[in-house]
A and B are shown apart, each in its own frame.
Chain A
Amino acid sequence: RKEVEQDPGPFNVPEGATVAFNCTYSNSASQSFFWYRQDCRKEPKLLMSVYSSGNEDGRFTAQLNRASQYISLLIRDSKLSDSATYLCVVNVYGGSQGNLIFGKGTKLSVKP
């Protein structure tokens, strides 16, 4: 089983739609969790950290279920600029973004 698994997509949605991505991780000792965004041929950029209580940043909501080892990202009111690959990232060694394990990413394409 891969350490971090995501549905590769692509998710093709119209502007304004709500879209949700899921991610599962295999190591129950994982300490911290993140969603990164990676544009084509660019480096990944931190979108948001994911906390056990769930957290929201504008149109983005992240949830963590430690019992199920499951992380989600919800994007509301999708914009064209949201088109990118979303990477689920887990830190299994503790600390803040120490050694990161990346999922392969879920590709999102927002259409006019």
Chain B
Amino acid sequence: GAVVSQHPSRVICKSGTSVKIECRSLDFQATTMFWYRQFPKQSLMLMATSNEGSKATYEQGVEKDKFLINHASLTLSTLTVTSAHPEDSSFYICSARVADTNIQGKWKTQYFGPGTRLLVL
């Protein structure tokens, strides 16, 4: 249980295009999902917190108009990198936090998706 999927796993795009990444919790509900970015040999950095039914909360230095987040349901959050540039090339990882108090021992535990590698040419 507690599986999180991301799609696509890898994407290569031209500079200036937009890329959408999906994060799904497959067997649990997640009112909160988190989007991270990891550059080579660097730590994971939280970009934003995605809240179901409301606006995302962005970390300082992350442009909300460039990284659009939508959390339309309890199992899906999307991150759209708009007008991507080569410096946006990175490993994007989402995580989903268990919302259901009935899942014994797992409430509020955060599970990570497998990540999406974005390469902008």
Judge if A42 is at the interface, Cβ distance under 8 Å.
yes
| A44 with B44: CB separation less than 8 A | yes
Is the Cβ of A102 less than 8 Å from the Cβ of B44? yes
Chain A residues positioned under 8 Å from B108 (CB to CB):
95-98
Bound-state CA distance A104–B41 (Å) is 7
- B-chain residues with CB within 8 Å of residue A87 when the two chains form the complex: 43-44
A42 and B115 form a contact (CB under 8 A): yes
Q: How many residues of B contact A (CB 8 A)?
A: 20
Q: Does A99 contact B (CB under 8 A)?
A: yes
Residue B46 contacts which of A44, A97, A99, A104 (CB distance < 8 angstroms)? A99
For A43, the closest partner residue in chain B by CB is B112
Query: Which residues from B are CB-within-8-Å of A42?
Result: 114-115
Whether B110 pairs with A102 at a CB distance below 8 angstroms is no
Least CB separation from A44: chain B residue: B112
Is A100 part of the contact surface with B, judged by Cβ < 8 Å? yes
- Picked from A41, A45, A95, the residue with its CB within 8 Å of the CB of B112 is A45
User: What is B's interface to A at a CB cutoff of 8 Å?
Assistant: 34, 41-46, 49, 91, 93, 97, 107-110, 112-115, 117
Jot down 30 A-B pairs with beta carbons below 8 A, ordered by A: A4-B43, A41-B91, A41-B117, A42-B115, A43-B93, A43-B112, A43-B114, A44-B93, A44-B112, A87-B43, A87-B44, A95-B108, A96-B107, A96-B108, A97-B97, A97-B108, A97-B109, A97-B110, A98-B97, A99-B34, A99-B46, A99-B49, A100-B44, A100-B46, A100-B110, A102-B43, A102-B44, A102-B45, A104-B41, A105-B43
